[in-house]
Amino acid sequence: FLVMASAVRALDRLDAEREFLRKIAKIATAEIVSSKDFNVDWQRAAATLLVAIGSHDPDLMMEEIFLYFSGPTSALPAMLQILADFASAEALQFTPRLKDVLLRVLPILGSVRDGQRPVFANALKCWCQAAWVYIGDASSGLPFDDDVMSFMNSVFELLLKVWTGSRDLKVRLSSVEALGEMVGLVTRSQLKSALPRIIPTMLDLCKKDQEVAFTAAHSLHNLLNASLLSESGPPLLEFEELAVVLITLLPLVSVNISKDERSYISKGLKTYNELQHCFLVTGLAYPEDLCMFLLSKCRSKDEASIVGALGTIKHLLPRLLESWHTKQTLLVEIVKSLLEEQSLGIRMALAELIVVMASHCYLSGHSAELAVEFLVGHSAITDDDLNDINTLKNEYFQDKRFEV
């Protein structure tokens, strides 16, 4: 199958005869349907062949796949995955045909059980991603007619009200991931009515392990972007309504900023970046409100909130430089008030913030001298010192070491 897929991809469009493509498409689908055992390796290879056929003749490939959408069949998950792969590989060819796909998928969705819901949700995610690629490439607006919009709204409601309430974590996570791609494609009125239900679901998943948290944070970022920065109208959420989101995310930032994760491509760092994207979107919509919120958290007694706030200010300062210019004095005062903190975690976050503030001319005169003294004084701390039990027992580091 892989060799055949490579050969089909290498064909010139003029040489790709329709009947020839139809024959090998039937070979691939027949092998998938006839198997009683689910063999991922060769089914993926057969899917690769069908995707290659679709790149030449998408209508032919879809006709072959749609044959297995009516009636119960064990091949349906594989067929959905093929359409998902095709959408990812050929977004510009898939998106104009999304209506035909949804016409066949919608009647099935209501009866899908938990075991197959992640497959459907993943396919919906890929189809929406293809639509975004199409929108970015097209000069016009949304390429959907009223029927497609109605279909999308129906799918959105089903995932939101039924699938995200599943007890199965995989179902909840895959549904939230799909909803994260759909939030910009449904109507603003539907999105606004969904916010009270979808935000708590996403925040709950953000508190899970790294793999789950990354996916949930990415979806939350998309949701905030669609809700706060849409060109179609004003923000759908007031800053006061965002408080629960910010309060929940701030301690998570302090966890995912941990230096214990050495690799720059670690999942923890990716999650940290997605969380910061959430704060950035909020800051673009409400720059002054967010600044005052973060400054207030720097004055709190909770170490995780302080570390999270310092890390977030460090991340946002270069990106909101103009909007935050009037807050320069307040930011400097916060830094000065934390110079005597004994928490190693706070000191580490503060040192990084000082470097960023200095590079953007936020520190001068006496405050700059204090910052330099702080940095020089902490430059003597080595990794060996941090791992040495005697150092940890020292009064200077007696509270808590900064780690996940």
Q: What is the pLDDT of residues 228-253, one digit of tens each?
A: 998 888 999 999 999 999 999 998 98
Residues 178 and 122 grouped into a single domain? yes
237 lies in some domain: no
Q: The tokens of 380 are what?
A: 């003597």
Residues 96-105, mean pLDDT to the nearest whole number: 92
Listed residues 21, 49, 74: the one ending a domain: 74
Range of the domain at 47: 1-74
Please give the share of the chain, as a percent, with pLDDT higher than 90.
53
390 lies in some domain: no
Residues 13 and 45 grouped into a single domain? yes
Residues 57 and 117 grouped into a single domain? no
Question: For residues 400 and 343, is the Cβ–Cβ distance under 8 A?
Answer: yes
Tell me what the pLDDT averaged over the chain comes to.
85
Listed residues 74, 105, 131: the one ending a domain: 74
36 lies in some domain: yes
List of residues 6+ apart from 45 with CB closer than 8 A: 1, 2, 5
Backbone angles phi, psi at 360, to 5 degrees: -115, 20
Residues 95 and 180 grouped into a single domain? yes
Q: Count up the domains in the chain and report the number.
A: 2
Among 172-176, 265-269, 270-274, which is the least confidently predicted range?
265-269
Taken in order 375, 377, 379, 383, the sign of the CA dihedral is negative
The structure's pTM equals 0.86
**How many whole angstroms separate alpha carbon 283 and alpha carbon 276?**
10
Confidence band of 77 (pLDDT split at 50, 70, 90): confident
Residues 97 and 172 grouped into a single domain? yes
Residues 59 and 103 grouped into a single domain? no
What's the pLDDT at 153?
Answer: 92
396 lies in some domain: no
Residues 161 and 107 grouped into a single domain? yes
SS3 labels along 168-227 = CHHHHHHHHHHHHHHCCCCCHHHHHHHHHHHHHHHHHHHCCCHHHHHHHHHHHHHHHHHH
**How many whole angstroms separate alpha carbon 245 and alpha carbon 237?**
11
What's the pLDDT at 312?
Answer: 95
Whether 385 has a pLDDT exceeding 60, the answer reads no
22 lies in some domain: yes
What's the pLDDT at 394?
Answer: 36
**How many whole angstroms separate alpha carbon 143 and alpha carbon 148?**
9
What's the pLDDT at 393?
Answer: 41
370 lies in some domain: no
Confidence band of 387 (pLDDT split at 50, 70, 90): low
Residues 106 and 18 grouped into a single domain? no
Listed residues 26, 46, 74: the one ending a domain: 74
Helices and strands, number each (H, E), in the chain:
21, 0
Question: For residues 379 and 326, is the Cβ–Cβ distance under 8 A?
Answer: no
Residues 142 and 179 grouped into a single domain? yes
Q: Could you give the angle at the alpha carbon of 175 between the alpha carbons of 181 and 140, nearest 5°?
A: 20
300 lies in some domain: no
Residues 10 and 42 grouped into a single domain? yes
Burial (Cβ within 10 Å: 0-12, 13-18, ≥19) of residue 181: buried
105 lies in some domain: yes
Question: How far from 242 is each of 134, 179, 236, 284, 300, CA to CA, in Å?
Answer: 31, 19, 10, 13, 19
Q: The tokens of 278 are what?
A: 């959430």
Confidence band of 37 (pLDDT split at 50, 70, 90): low
Residues 123 and 161 grouped into a single domain? yes
